[in-house]
Amino acid sequence: MEIRLRYFGQLQEATGKSEEVLKEAFDTIGSLRNFLIQRYPQLKNRNFKIAQDNKIDMDSSPLNGSLIDLLPPFSGG
């Protein structure tokens, strides 16, 4: 399975990428998060949400989307 990752805001700076494609398989959103933190240690102390197919999901959710967005914290009013 091919997964397209898109990085936004400060996460682009931390990874040095705006997007990439992974061919690895992951069971859950959390396993993907752990993989990315190992690959990009700068993500370790950053708070970010992960959305699959345009829906923010929990780490325990199965990873079955093909478009994954890493989103920095939101602010606003």
- What CATH number is associated with residue 29? 3.10.20.30
Classify residue 21: in a domain, yes or no: yes
Furthest C-alpha separation in the chain = 39
Model pLDDT for residues 9-57, shown as the tens digit of each residue: 999 999 999 999 999 999 999 999 999 999 999 999 999 999 999 999 9
pTM: 0.91
Residue 75's pLDDT is 65
Between these two residues, 65 and 41, which has the higher pLDDT value?
41
Classify residue 43: in a domain, yes or no: yes
Q: Are strands 49-52 and 67-71 parallel, antiparallel or unpaired?
A: antiparallel
- In the predicted model, is pLDDT for residue 65 greater than 90? no
Distances (CA, A) of 26 to 10, 16, 48, 61: 24, 22, 18, 11
Classify residue 29: in a domain, yes or no: yes
